[in-house]
Amino acid sequence: MGVEQAAPPLRIALAGLGTVGVGVIRLLDTNRDLLTARAGRELQVVAVSARDRSKDRGVDLARFAWEDDMTAMAHRDDVDVVVELVGGSDGPALNLARKALQSGKPLVTANKAMIAHHGLALAELAEARDVALKFEAAVAGGIPVVKGLREGTAANAIERIYGILNGTCNYILSKMEETGADFADVLKDAQQLGYAEADPSFDIEGVDAAHKLAILAAIGFGAKLDFDSVRVTGITRVQAADIAQADILGYVIRLIAMADVEEGEGGGATLLQRVRPCLVSKDHPLSRVDGPTNAVVAEGNFSGRLLFQGAGAGDGPTASAVVADLIDIARDEVGAPFSIPVSRLDPLPPTEPGHRLERTYLRFTVADRPGVLAEITAAMRDAGVSIESLIQKGRGDAGAEVLVAMVTHEGPERAVRDALALLEGSDSLTSAPLALPLLPD
């Protein structure tokens, strides 16, 4: 009887030694025996690259080859797989990704911006070379939602994907809810705690969540990746007063990313992708997702509603997702990056959602004088918007601004847009109105 030969190690080149890159090294060191047993071979870093070679990162880097030019790792004979943790949709990260795949080396990345903008081209390269392109860590940190959609729900037609995809926004909104503080104050607190970047615009304007949604929609619906068609509204205009009014109505406010497919008027399917703050009923599972947590709901035609929830960022959860992809590669699991080959992805045109029925929360900040409320309600009437409830609240001082909040009955989205258009330019409004949809149960 012959002696079974141990499989050779999977030799890894790692570009980017920030918190996630260092987290990957620590995870590989800490769980080495467990990972070897699960992967069927050792996962072994052999080369690393970062901008600053002299920086103390708290791990021993002397055991690895150092490459000042990260693209050189794609051509090393002693490297089996490249891990890109540099970030950025273009530039060095994209150059490394292309070089690795062109050299026939699998690529693992946590770079949602790069995948959202260039994922189809990279997937075509990977498929042409029959190597893996893995990006579990690009969406929702340590939550296995990419694998869940690509594999766990593979038997289902996905009807809708939605959820909370940005921990920074979720922290800010849930903290506003908890403390009653306004947006600017909570943002400053989030920056001090490390939940928000010094320049938080990608997070608070909804772009980060839009990157992730575009990726999930492509996988879930078998659609061509189309980040440019995502409709995006951030949370910067949400006030403490809106949080308080939502609470009175039995809701919380969360930044919700949502995608679904519908049959268009001409018979062809269309894809709606959008990110926007929504009022979420306190009875809905997403209402209980607070702090820097992510959650994704996928609705399959046979599986029903599935909820994926957990830490959406951080060195540990994101490193966990990176290493899970490395285990798949060690097992020689390739598969189409977006579940089906790029050539068979459906180029679904974007949906114009004006006909969609929804209830809407509207907030107006107006001058405290007679006739203002009548002007607003007349615009609602003329646009065909039916008002379910209305709250008028003064700011305390005579002649000061008044907050008018209302919730509409269910009606087409375009009716609310038409009503706000009728009010545009009115000197009764002291600031632009805010419209937030109520998330259906």
Count CA within 13 A, CB hemisphere, residue 29. 11
Closest listed residue to residue 253, CA positions, set 268, 240, 271: 240
Strand partners, 417: none
Q: How far apart are CA 17 and CA 441, in angstroms?
A: 42
Say which of 212, 224, 282, 393 is annotated catalytic. 212
Strand boundaries in 282-326, DSSP class E? 293-300, 304-311
Q: How far apart are CA 315 and CA 312, in angstroms?
A: 10
Cα 274 to Cα 206, 231, 233, 434: the distances in Å are: 9, 4, 8, 17
DSSP result, 79-122 = -SEEEE----SSHHHHHHHHHHHHTT--EEE--HHHHHHHHHHH
DSSP H or E segment with residue 208? helix 207-221
99 is catalytic: no
Single-letter residue type at 440: P
Strand partners, 350: 271
φ, ψ for residue 52, nearest 5 deg: -115, 110
Give the residue numbers annotated as catalytic, written as ranges.
212
